[in-house]
Amino acid sequence: AKMKKGNSYSFYDPALQTLLEKQAELETDLVRAIASDEFCAYFQPQVSSSGKVIGAEALIRWNHPSKGLVAPNEFIPIAEQYGLIQKLQNIVLRDICILIAQLRTENIIDELFSVSINISHCQFNSSTLKTELLNTIAGFDILPAQIKLEITESMLAGDIDNTVQQMEEIKAKGFAFSIDDFGTGYSCLTHLSAFPVKELKIDKSFIDKVLDDATGFSIVKTIITLAKSLNITVVAEGVEALAQHELLKSLHIDAIQGYLIAKPMTKSDYLVWHKTNIAN
């Protein structure tokens, strides 16, 4: 069926209709869930090649009353679409602050320990990012330098001058930037050198192939070498096997993150994990 709507034709598509209804339902559920405090951050540790716990990545989870734990890929796109992402970001940031403050109180981290937060493209492009960050961390006994903002390469694809300025302003407040899923976008390392970036994370898809063949190995090796020449720290994500870890160490990777070390955990489980693993 063809329906006239303004000057454009839209086609009635039952599958699309079902999808839209599902999205609308999810949106209503998200609004309810935010009000009932069903979101929290999980934490996955990052360990240096010498075994030191250097930080963690915060990953949002939805503790749904009937569905159980819902993974971010299922709701982040909807939250972005319906303007709810800011609220979720603030929940994650608040949890990060609570964790860092706790670790500081117990005196079990140094000032180099940092926790990463995933920044959505909506947030990154918003002029309020800096003030949102500063407002949320105010009142906690933490340093902005202990928070790392993970953005993806595609977010750097817009106007370079504007982006660099936005990043410099946030960096001037003390926050650091990390490029997530590195290698999956279209940028290259030389392009990256224009931006104030402290760290890059090699995407899991490359780490998966590092042991497979010469190409997988060379790609990872090249990323590490070039990043080091630009003074950018390199983290491998999705490390699952000891053999991967050993190979990455031989390539002088700075840090690794993955199920080999630990899966993402609740804040209290992370605290226990941290205490038993800082002895190294």
259 lies in the binding site for ligand C2E (CB under 6 A): yes
199 binds Ca ion, rule: CB under 5 A: no
Range 24-37 burial, b when 16+ CB lie within 10 A, else e = eebbebbeebbeee
Beta strands in 37-165 (DSSP E): 39-48, 53-64, 68-70, 114-118, 147-152
CA atoms of 171 and 193, how far apart (whole Å) = 15
Per-residue tokens: 91? 């929940």
Token match 């559920």: residue? 29
Could you give the C-alpha distances from 14 to 2, 11, 18, 21, in angstroms and in order? 12, 9, 6, 10
Select the residue whose beta carbon is closest to ligand C2E and give its number. Answer: 258
Beta strands 53-64; 39-48: pairing state: antiparallel
Helix (H, G, I), strand (E, B) or coil at 249: helix
Task: Quickly tell me which residue has 């977010």 as its tokens.
Answer: 155
Is residue 95 part of the contact set for Ca ion (CB under 5 A)? Answer: no
Given 76, 143, 241, 251, the residue binding ligand C2E (CB under 6 A):
76
The nearest distance, CB 245 to Ca ion, in angstroms, is 17
User: Distance between CA atoms of 18 and 9, rounded to whole angstroms?
Assistant: 19
Member of 55, 137, 264, 274 binding ligand C2E (CB under 6 A): 264
- When CB distances are held under 5 to 8 angstroms depending on the partner's kind, the choice from ligand C2E, Ca ion, none that residue 258 binds is ligand C2E
Pairwise CA distance, residues 100 & 92, whole Å: 12
Among the listed residues 19, 71, 272, 278, the single contact to ligand C2E using CB under 6 A: 71
Give the residue with the Cβ less far from Ca ion, 29 or 248: 248
Structural element, H or E, at residue 187: none
By the rule CB under 6 A, 166 interacts with ligand C2E = no
Residue nearer to ligand C2E on the CB measure, 58 or 103 = 58
Verify binding: residue 92, ligand C2E, rule CB under 6 A.
yes
- In angstroms, what is the minimal distance from the CB of 133 to ligand C2E? 13
CB 152 → Ca ion: shortest distance, Å? 8
What x/- string results for residues 34 through 53 when contact with ligand C2E is judged by CB under 6 A? ----------x---------
Q: What is the largest CA-CA distance in the chain?
A: 69
List the x/- string, 108-137, binding to Ca ion by CB under 5 A: ----------x-------------------
Note whether 181 binds Ca ion by CB under 5 A.
yes
104 binds, among ligand C2E, Ca ion, none (CB under 5 to 8 A by kind): none
Interacting partner of 26 out of Ca ion, ligand C2E, none (Cβ under 5 to 8 A depending on kind): none
193-225 exposure pattern, b = at least 16 Cβ within 10 A, e = fewer: eebebbbbbbbbebbeebeeeeebbeebbebbe
Binding site for Ca ion (CB under 5 A): 118, 150, 180-181, 204, 237
Binding site for ligand C2E (CB under 6 A): 44, 59-60, 71-73, 76, 92, 118, 120, 180-181, 237-240, 258-259, 264
